[in-house]
Amino acid sequence: MIRFHQITLQRGVRRLLDTAGVTLQPRRRIALVGRNGSGKSSLFALLLGQLSPEAGELTLPAGCRIAHMAQEVAYSDRTALDFVLDGHAALRKVQARIKAAEDADEPMQLAELYAELEALGGYQAEHQAAELMHGLGFAATDQHRLVTEFSGGWRIRLNLAQALMRPSDLLLLDEPTNHLDLDTITWLERRLQQYTGTLICISHDRDFIDQVADNILHLTGQQLHLYSGHYTDFERQRAAQLASQQARYAQQQQQISQIQGFIDRFRAKASKAKQAQSRLKQLANLEQVAQVQADSPFRFRFLPPEPLSQPLLSAQDLQLGYADQPVLRQIHLSLLPGDRIGLLGVNGAGKSTLIQGLTGALAPQAGQVTRGEHCRIGYFAQHQLEALDTGASALVHLQRAKPSATEAQIRQFLGGFDIRSDQALVPIAPFSGGEKARLALALIVWQQPNLLLLDEPTNHLDLEMRSALTLALQAFTGALVVVSHDRHLLRHSVDTYWLVSTGRVSEFHGTLDEYEPHSASPTRPTDCQPGTGRKKQQRQQAAAARKAQARIQHQIQQVEREMTRLDTELQAVTAKLADQTLYAADNKTRLPELTQHQARLQRDRDALDDDWLQLHEQLTS
C-alpha cells in the first residue's frame, strides 16, 4: 500500500499539502482530482521522488516499480518502435548485455542471458510495442519513422505507449486523454481496466474517470480525501457531505449567536460575570465548522445573439484540402439558429479541416461557403492559445475586441472566468495552459457570436471549467458545431452528430454510446490477426468473460449503492450527535442509542469495503 502520513508539501510560497494523510490500497485505479494549481502534478513529483516533503512521510511498497507518462514532448533520433521499447528498461539492459556477450563470444553467458530475456518476455516485446502503437492510432508504417518526424501531440502518444510498455506496480498518468480522439480513448479505457497494478491518473475527462477509476482521491483545502466509486459517485457523496457541513455550520452559528448574546447581556453584571466568563471560554474552545464555499469559481453565459440570419451559414458542393490533395469532398450543409452538432471521426479524418473551411481560415478547393448577413462566428481552434498576445494582459485582449467597454465591465466579465484582481492586469506570458484557455474562451463569449465553431475547446480546462462551459453551451441560442473528445460535454450540449469519414460528411443516426463500439480501434495490428478458427474461439472466450464481468459489475453496483446508503445514514447520525441539546440530562437514553447505532453502521460499512475489494480483485484477476 501507499501511505501519506502527515505530509506537508510546499512549492515556493504556496503550501499545497498541510499535514495531509491517506492510505491507498494496492491494485486500485485512482483518479486524482482537484482544481488547477491545487498540487496534483506536485503530488506525482513527490511519488516519483522528484520532490521531498517539508514534513511527514511517504511510504511506498518495497521494490515498487513506477511507470510514469512524461508530459514533455520527446525529442529522439530513435524510431518510434524503438522509443516505445525503451520503456522496458530491464529488457534493454539484457539486450545490451547479449550484444556484449556476442561480441566477446561467450556462449555460456549467452545461454544465461537468453533465458533471462525469455523470462522478461523479450521475444514478445516487439509485438507488444506494435500493439500499443496500433491501439493509440499509429499506422504500421509509423513504427519505423523517427520520433522527430511526429507532431507534438503524436509524440505525447508515444510517451503514453512507452509508459504502458514499462513493467510496473504503480502507473502514474497525467492527462492521458489529451491529444486522443474518442476511438483511442475507448481503447485506452479497456487497456487500463486490465491493468493489475495500482493506477493513479490525473484527468479532467469525467466519462474517462467513470470508465477507469474505482476510487477518487480529491485534493482540496491542502488535504487528501479518498472516496470509493467512480466520479459520479464522488460527486454524489461530496454533495451530501457539503450539505451536511452547511447544516452543521448554520446550527453552530445559531449556537454562537446565543452564547454571544448571553455574554453581551450579562458581561457587566457582577452576579452573572462568572457565567459570562465561562461562556467566553466555551466560545473560544468551540471547534469551528467551516462555511461551505462555492465549489466552482466560474460564472459566465453567452448573451442572446441578435439579430439572426436564416441560415447563418451554408455550403454547396464544398471540397477542402491542402495543396492539391483533397481531404473532404461534396459537402452540402446548412446551419440554422438552434442547430447543435457534434463532429465524430478518427484523428486525421478531416474534422478540423471542416471547421477551418467553415470559418474561412482554409480556402475551398471547390464549391463555396456562404455566410448569412448577420452571421458572427466564434471560433476556437486547437492551437488557439498560440494566437494570444503573451505580452498583453487579459484586460487588454478584451479592450481590443470591444474598445467601447469600460474597465469595470471587463474586469467583472473576466471574474466569471476566474481571472480576477491583479491577474487581469498583468501580461499573460506566465499564465498556465488552463488560464490561457479560459482567456481564449472569454474572448469568444465577449464578442457575442451567433455561430460557435469549437475545435477541442476543453483541452487544458479542469473539471469545474468544463462543467461551466457545458452549462453555458446548453443555454446558447445560436448554432453550435463542436469537435471534442469530452463525451460529457458532447452528450449535454449537442443534439445531432455528423460523421466525418472517408472524405465525406454525413449524419450519424445514433447516440454517442452507439458510435463508440463500432469505432473503437482493434487491440492488435491487422497484420498480426490470428486465423478465422482462432478468432471464433477468442470471440466465444471473450463473450464468456464479458458475461462473468457483467455479473461481478452488477454485484459491485449493488455493494456501492448500499455503501452510499450507509454513508448517508452515517452522516445523518453524525449530524445528530453534533447537536448540543443531545447532551442534556433529559436525553441521557437517546445518546447511547445513537452511538450504538453509529457503531453498527460503521461495522456494516467496513464489511462492505472488504466485499467491494474482493469483487474488484475478481474483476481484474
Percent of the chain past pLDDT 90, that is, above it, reads: 47
Inside any domain, residue 177: no
| pLDDT confidence of residue 286 | 58
Cis amide leading into 517 (omega within 30): no
DSSP-assigned letter for residue 448: -
Mean of pLDDT values over 371-389 = 90
Inside any domain, residue 341: yes
| pLDDT confidence of residue 238 | 76
Contact criterion met (CB below 8 Å) for 351 and 455: yes
CATH assignment at residue 497: 3.40.50.300
| 248-269 confidence digits (pLDDT tens) | 667 667 767 766 776 776 666 5
Report the SS3 class of residue 543. helix
Confidence of residue 590 (pLDDT cuts 50, 70, 90): confident
Confidence of residue 395 (pLDDT cuts 50, 70, 90): very high
Residues 493 and 369 in one domain: yes
Inside any domain, residue 217: no
Nearest to 246 by CA among 566, 575, 567, 569: 575
CA angle at 253 for the pair 251 and 254, rounded to the nearest 5°: 65
Mean of pLDDT values over 602-612 = 77
Residues 155 and 265 in one domain: no
Mean of pLDDT values over 191-210 = 94
Q: What is the rounded CA–CA span in Å between residue 168 and residue 160? A: 14
* Core vs surface per residue 118-142: b (16+ CB within 10 A) or e: eebebeebeebbbbbbbbbbbeeeb
Residue after which a domain boundary falls, among 123, 139, 167: 167
Flag whether pLDDT at 353 surpasses 80: yes
Phi then psi dihedrals of residue 11, to 5 deg:
-120, 110
Give the predicted TM-score (pTM) of the model: 0.69
Of 19-23, 461-465, 581-585, give the lowest mean pLDDT range. 581-585
Flag whether pLDDT at 534 surpasses 60: no
C-alpha cell at 381: 481552434
Inside any domain, residue 77: yes
Inside any domain, residue 321: yes
Residues 266 and 356 in one domain: no
C-alpha cell at 459: 483541452
Residues 549 and 457 in one domain: no
SS (H, E, C) 234-285: HHHHHHHHHHHHHHHHHHHHHHHHHHHHHHHHHCCCHHHHHHHHHHHHHHHH
CA angle at 620 for the pair 617 and 621, rounded to the nearest 5°: 80
DSSP 146-205: BGGGS-HHHHHHHHHHHHHHS--SEEEEESTTTT--HHHHHHHHHHHHT--SEEEEE-S-
Of 121-125, 165-169, 209-213, give the lowest mean pLDDT range. 121-125
Residues 370 and 500 in one domain: yes
Instruction: Taking each helix axis as running N to C, give the angle between helix 407-415 and helix 394-401, from 0 to 180 degrees, rounded to the nearest 10.
Output: 120
Residues 249 and 354 in one domain: no
Residues 507 and 540 in one domain: no
Mean of pLDDT values over 485-511 = 90
Residue 381's CB: how many other CB atoms inside 10 A? 19
Of 2-6, 170-174, 385-389, 397-401, give the lowest mean pLDDT range. 385-389
Residue 75 lies in domain? 66-167
Inside any domain, residue 543: yes
Mean of pLDDT values over 527-538 = 39
Q: What is the rounded CA–CA span in Å between residue 601 and residue 567? A: 9
Residue after which a domain boundary falls, among 167, 185, 210: 167
Distance of CA 442 to the CA centre of its chain: 22
Flag whether pLDDT at 499 surpasses 70: yes
DSSP 21-76: EEEE-TT-EEEEE--TTSSHHHHHHHHTTSS--SEEEEE--TT--EEE---SPP--
Distance of CA 45 to the CA centre of its chain: 18
583 vs 323, higher pLDDT: 323
Flag whether pLDDT at 186 surpasses 70: yes
| 269-328 confidence digits (pLDDT tens) | 555 556 666 666 666 665 555 554 445 677 778 877 777 888 999 999 999 999 888 999
* Core vs surface per residue 520-551: b (16+ CB within 10 A) or e: bbeeebeeeeeeeeeeeeeeeeeeeeeeeeee
Mean of pLDDT values over 481-498 = 92
Confidence of residue 527 (pLDDT cuts 50, 70, 90): very low
Residues 421 and 512 in one domain: yes
| pLDDT confidence of residue 275 | 63
Cis amide leading into 311 (omega within 30): yes
Mark out the alpha helices in 392-486 (DSSP H runs): 394-401, 407-415, 433-446, 463-475
C-alpha cell at 15: 503550501
Of 112-116, 460-464, 553-557, 600-604, give the lowest mean pLDDT range. 553-557
| pLDDT confidence of residue 300 | 79
Confidence of residue 459 (pLDDT cuts 50, 70, 90): confident
Q: How many domains does the chain have?
A: 4
Contact criterion met (CB below 8 Å) for 365 and 321: yes
Inside any domain, residue 227: no
Phi then psi dihedrals of residue 216, to 5 deg:
-120, 125
Q: What is the rounded CA–CA span in Å between residue 67 and residue 47? A: 11
Of 32-36, 344-348, 547-551, give the lowest mean pLDDT range. 547-551
| pLDDT confidence of residue 539 | 44
Residue 100's CB: how many other CB atoms inside 10 A? 12
Residues 490 and 358 in one domain: yes
Q: What is the rounded CA–CA span in Å between residue 414 and residue 393? A: 11
Confidence of residue 390 (pLDDT cuts 50, 70, 90): very high
| 45-85 confidence digits (pLDDT tens) | 999 999 999 999 999 999 999 999 987 766 778 999 999 99
Mean pLDDT (the chain, rounded): 84
Residue after which a domain boundary falls, among 167, 198, 228: 167
Residues 500 and 607 in one domain: no
Q: What is the rounded CA–CA span in Å between residue 261 and residue 255? A: 10
* Torsion of Cα atoms, 56 then 3 then 35 then 250, to 10°: -80
Walk across the sheet containing 377-380 and list its strands. 377-380, 451-455, 479-483, 340-344, 496-501, 504-508
Residues 563 and 601 in one domain: yes
Flag whether pLDDT at 617 surpasses 80: no
Confidence of residue 160 (pLDDT cuts 50, 70, 90): very high
Residues 401 and 486 in one domain: yes
| pLDDT confidence of residue 524 | 33
| 425-439 confidence digits (pLDDT tens) | 999 998 888 889 899
Inside any domain, residue 24: no
Walk across the sheet containing 198-202 and list its strands. 66-68, 170-174, 198-202, 29-33, 215-220, 223-228
* Sequence-separated (6 or more) residues with CB below 8 Å from residue 220: 34, 35, 38
